[in-house]
Amino acid sequence: MTARAPFEYALLRVVPRIERGEAMNAGVLLYSRPLDFLGARVHLDVPRLRALDPGADGSLIGRALESVVVQCGDGRTGAARYAGPAGEEDRGRRFRRLTAPRSTIVQAGPVHTGLTADPVAELDRLLTALVMPLG
């Protein structure tokens, strides 16, 4: 059995109208210091977004979510490509910055922990369980 290492994760939430406080899950960030991994997966359910706010700009929100993926890089191979100075930061520092509380349309939820031997598979599992539509 492969040894499992601790990881931290946070959901990415879309809050189309800050004043209403309604949110929908749209992605997951996962960081593991022992495995030297930082990754993100996103999925924007546009019909669900429109149910929260018919005027929400799905294209703009989708680009904001994708920018988080770019800032994380591919998980293992050094700095994030095309992320500018943010891509040069240590993975742990990037995770802390991306999960810092903010009042914007794309927000990170609370940080949770777990154990995994395969952070890529864990990231995919969390996306399926916590973000993708049920059924």
Domain ranges of the chain: 5-130
Both tokens of 42, joined, read 């996103």
pLDDT of residue 78: 47
Instruction: Check pLDDT > 60 for residue 69.
Output: yes
Residue 84's pLDDT band, with cuts at 50, 70 and 90, is: low
User: Does residue 8 contact residue 95 with C-beta atoms inside 8 Å?
Assistant: yes
pLDDT of residue 80: 52
**Closest to 89 measured CA to CA, from 102, 75, 81, 79:** 79
> Average pLDDT, stretch 62-68?
94
Residue 96's pLDDT band, with cuts at 50, 70 and 90, is: very high
Residues linked to residue 12 through DSSP beta bridges, in sequence order = 27, 108
